[in-house]
Amino acid sequence: MMMIAAAVFAFAACGNDEPGPQGGGNEGGKLATPELSETHTETSITVSWGAVENAEAYRVNLKGKNYTTEELSYTFENLNAGTYDIRVMATAEGYTDSEMAKISVTITGATSVDWFTQTLSLPEVDETVDYGNGQVMVYQPYNGVKALWKGTDVADIKYGLFATEGLEGVSDAQIKGNLNTFDNITGALELINSADGLEIIYGGCSANTSYTAYVWVKNVAGQEFFTSNEITTSDFEVPAETQAWIGTWNAKTSQVISIGDNGAGTLSAKDETFTLTIAASATAPDMVVIDGLSVLGEDNPTVGYVVENTLTIATNFSIGSDADGITYMWLPFVAVDGELLGLNDFGGEVPAHTLTMAEDGTVTGETGKFGVKFNDGTEAEAEVVCTELYGVSQEGQLYFFIESFPAVYRAGALELTKAATPTAKVLNKEARNFPMSLSSVVF
């Protein structure tokens, strides 16, 4: 946190042998401890004290930094909201420094500055953004938040979007520690400081949910500003095509794959029965959340996409990460022409299962298939044999979340029959192909 302090005066303090208002000691002794008082505004603190007998200067400390003055007050400006502990010590040559006096001051911080603004809005329906290199994204008012930043002489910026509900008990310091910055910070600043400003879009939000966008900025004069704005995404209706899949299903596969500690897989016939719960997603009307597919339990959801009467369960995407830098991934184990290729990351989501519902509600399933291109330029059709949750380290090392080997997973096509249970409610817990922190920003 940058602080611009009042000037340090270099005049010599006037000595006084008469007892001062603080009392004091004899020459060569220990100086008396200053008695502090304060006044403050929303962004500044002035701490004052009475003269200490025989003191020549005063050392003021804030957040580990020392400032020296011969005056009887000191001002810190351009402070953000928070509680500040300020300490003051009297000093003089030939005397022992006084004890540190401490005073705590809480300020609200600036609510606005004249050199930066953040304005939030929702995307238009089917708002399309072309990022170049063939990357085109379509945003909706229920799954995106736009932020417009305009500034003058902005020299640095950090940003982030958070679900408002999850911010209870979170300090400003914690939020600042989780903000993002731009790889091309120079290009971003040029746009922010332009007449039109810089507009960014946070993607992957949930419908009818409150989000808070935080931004920290610093200008060329060294002034800092930390602010936030809140916005609620739009709601949507779940279409009939998606509602047809919502509920609890009896599931069955007829194969298993055993994966040894060397990562090699062996496919064999075996019936596996389990229960799937499919719920409407809070992210998009054509998306569902599926619990129970993973042998690791119901806390490892995947997602599916509904197009007309077909549900495609996706794989090969991140569903979160932990403090150790391990990213949780749904990854496919595939085969080409019947030959197992092992666990592979082909880049981008691939279909794991394709399920088609007839008019009478009967469901038929196939394993997912997609085209692959190998390093030698040859192309083939890959079939997803099974999918499961793994972890990938930042160095690319693969972790299995099964302690004992060989690990056995369900494989093959899914068979589904509707279970006689109540319809599942909408889930906000989702596996999604974007950071769960909602901190990724595109512009």
Count of C-beta atoms within a 10 Å radius of residue 384: 26
* Residues found in the chain: 443
**Each residue's pLDDT tens digit, 182-198:** 989 999 999 999 999 99
- Whether the CB-CB separation of 249 and 278 falls below 8 Å is answered with yes
Q: Which residue has the tokens 């746009």?
A: 191
Angle at 14 between CA 13 and CA 15, to 5 degrees: 110
Torsion-angle region of 403 (φ positive above 0: left; ψ -120 to 50: alpha; else: beta): alpha
Question: Across residues 35-57, what is the average pLDDT?
Answer: 95
**Entry pTM:** 0.62
**Each residue's pLDDT tens digit, 142-172:** 999 999 999 999 999 999 999 998 888 888 8
Q: For residues 67 and 61, what is the distance between their CA atoms, to the nearest angstrom?
A: 6
Q: For residues 172 and 227, what is the distance between their CA atoms, to the nearest angstrom?
A: 10
**Beta-bridge partner residues of 40:** 45
Q: For residues 55 and 27, what is the distance between their CA atoms, to the nearest angstrom?
A: 10
List, in sequence order, every beta strand (DSSP E) within 205-358: 210-219, 224-232, 247-259, 265-280, 287-291, 302-307, 310-315, 317-321, 327-336, 339-343, 350-357
- Whether the CB-CB separation of 346 and 372 falls below 8 Å is answered with yes
Percent of the chain with pLDDT over 90: 48
In Å, how far are 110, 179, 225, 244, 387 from 113, measured between CA atoms? Answer: 7, 20, 7, 52, 52
Is the pLDDT score of 442 beyond 50? no
Q: Which residue has the higher pLDDT, 110 or 152?
A: 152
Is the pLDDT score of 1 beyond 60? no
List, in sequence order, every beta strand (DSSP E) within 122-244: 127-132, 135-139, 144-151, 154-163, 198-203, 210-219, 224-232
Is the pLDDT score of 429 beyond 70? no
**Least confident span in 98-107, 244-253, 377-386:** 377-386
Give pLDDT, residue 319. Answer: 66
* DSSP structure string for 292-309: S-STT-TTS-EEEEEETT
Is the pLDDT score of 310 beyond 80? yes
Residue 187 phi/psi, 5-degree rounding, is -65, -40
Confidence band, pLDDT 50/70/90 cuts, at residue 283: confident
Give pLDDT, residue 415. Answer: 93
Q: Identify the structural domains of the chain with CATH numbers, from first to last.
A: 4-107 (2.60.40.10), 116-232 (2.60.40.10), 240-433 (no CATH)
Is the pLDDT score of 435 beyond 50? no
Question: Across residues 380-401, what is the average pLDDT?
Answer: 71
In Å, how far are 198, 392, 400 from 322, measured between CA atoms? Answer: 32, 11, 15
> Long-range contacts of range 268-276, CB-CB < 8 Å, 24 or more positions apart?
272/410, 274/410, 275/248, 275/249, 275/250, 275/251, 275/419, 276/248, 276/249, 276/251, 276/416
Confidence band, pLDDT 50/70/90 cuts, at residue 76: very high
